[in-house]
Amino acid sequence: MVTQRRWSVLAAAGFAGLLVCSVVGWRLGGLDHARWPRAWVYAGQWTAFVVGALAIRRVSGSRVVSLIVLGGALLQLLAVLWPPRTTDDFYRYLWDGRVQAHGIDPYRYAPIDPALTSLRDPWLFPGPGDHTLINHRAVPTIYPPVAQLYFLLVHLVPGERRLPLQLAAALLAVATSMLLVVATRRTGVDPRAVVWWAWCPTVVLEAGNDAHVDVLGAFFCVAGLAVLAGRIGERSAGRSRAGLAAGALLGAAVGVKFLPGLLGPALARHRWRWALLGGATAVLAGSYLPHLLAVGPRVFGFLPGYLAEERFSGADRYPLLGLLLPGPVAAVAGVAVIAAVALAVWWRADPARPVAGGVVLVGVTFCVLAPEYPWYALVLVVLAALADQARWLAIAAAGWPAYLVGSLHLPIVGTRAVSYGTAALLVLAVWLIRRRVGTVTGC
């Protein structure tokens, strides 16, 4: 029998390995540097994370949860010390904030539009003509209005260009860990489950270092679900206020990125569903209205182009289904699978623990669509932590091989199919084992 001391040592060793691998990865530089070594470093990060997290889940004591949160904070602090290594999205964030600070709606113009020439910062436009570091330079922004407000607020913070964004993302990651502790205790989940978020390599890489805005959506998700799980008095007025507040926070999450909207079916049978809907609608309508009045239908920015660019109508977007079905049929089947799971979640959702159904729908959607952008999975990671269902982190890990295919010169569709297929089988296997032998902590 492994003693508490040995579990503690194993947890410390896992955390140390995660920390070392993270630093080594950041020191390797961008995606075009040390390509295969980076892949092995990422594999080391995930291995160390699994060892450390599983071990610390078996350590008891009043300080364990605090140590988990502090460990996550240390990882985020280190992440900020290096510039973003595996993304250029932050350039668009900086540009959108700059445009708004000058009183221009971010959905009105593309970055290279002549109307914005006077706003061109040599740092963002280092070359002659229209050369810029901003991706998708010829199209308007895709990010929803709550994300836009975040970009503006961060732009107003003084500091070196990338640093305020990274610091904001790191602080949000730590704040989310702290909210998870509150939310898990309110729902009766072991608060040590916060380790699945605080130490997860996806959070370490995509929050404090790459500064992806998705961490803000994860924060709002947990905040809304924490309010929903709070002990509200019997008075109907108190329940309505709590429902409206939770709905507003969840609406803000959707206003950052649309993925948190997948929580809808799990909440549709909640006793506060109308208050939730009202709060979410008010926030989304209120955030979109100024932009709608300013630019009309252009408020959706590059979203229609993104859907076409990501091939949502072809088999390549659905690599697991595409192995069995032709292109258009695979697309229809993918939508049908997601819709069927959404219906099942709505029908079987536990109103007291909606996150359990939410994490299933989000996880299945990832398996069907197999996105190659690992930062999208930040919402999945935070839901897995809140539900204490660590098996879904395999889906989050699957995004990394898919993201690295370009630098490693691997076939993208085949890699996505293998990566997400393996992850899906692992999730299914753990679920079957749990049903056969009983609940396994943290799985």
Q: Which of 212, 183, 247, 226 is nearest to 92 (CA)?
A: 212
Q: What integer pLDDT is reported at residue 232 of this predicted model?
A: 42
Q: CA–CA distance from 126 to each of 122, 132, 422 (Å)?
A: 5, 6, 42
Read out DSSP for 94-160? Answer: HHHHHHHHTT--TTT--TT-GGGGGG--TTTS-SSTT--SSSSTTS-----HHHHHHHHHHHTS-SS
pLDDT tens figures, 6-58: 999 999 999 999 999 999 999 998 887 778 899 999 999 999 999 999 999 99
Handedness of CA 231, 235, 239, 241 (dihedral sign): negative
Q: CA–CA distance from 389 to each of 194, 241, 393 (Å)?
A: 11, 30, 8
pLDDT tens figures, 166-178: 999 999 999 999 9
Vertex 212 angle, CA 33 and 366, to 5°? 90
Q: What integer pLDDT is reported at residue 239 of this predicted model?
A: 67
- Amino acid in the structure at residue 37: P
Backbone angles phi, psi at 9, to 5 degrees: -65, -40
Contacts of 139 (CB under 8 A, 6+ apart): 110, 301, 302, 305
Tens digit of each residue's pLDDT, the chain (443 residues): 568 889 999 999 999 999 999 999 999 988 877 788 999 999 999 999 999 999 999 999 889 999 999 999 999 999 999 999 999 999 999 999 999 999 999 999 999 999 999 999 888 999 888 899 999 999 999 999 999 999 999 999 987 789 999 999 999 999 999 999 999 999 999 999 999 999 999 999 999 999 999 999 999 999 999 999 875 443 455 567 889 999 999 999 999 999 999 999 999 988 899 999 999 999 999 999 999 999 998 998 888 888 877 777 777 889 999 888 877 788 899 999 999 999 999 999 888 889 999 999 999 999 999 999 999 999 999 999 999 999 999 999 999 999 998 888 889 889 999 999 999 999 999 989 887 776 545 66
197-233 burial: b if 16+ Cβ within 10 Å, else e: bbbbbbbbbbbbbbbbbbbbbbbbbbbbbbbbbeebe
Q: What is the model's pTM?
A: 0.94
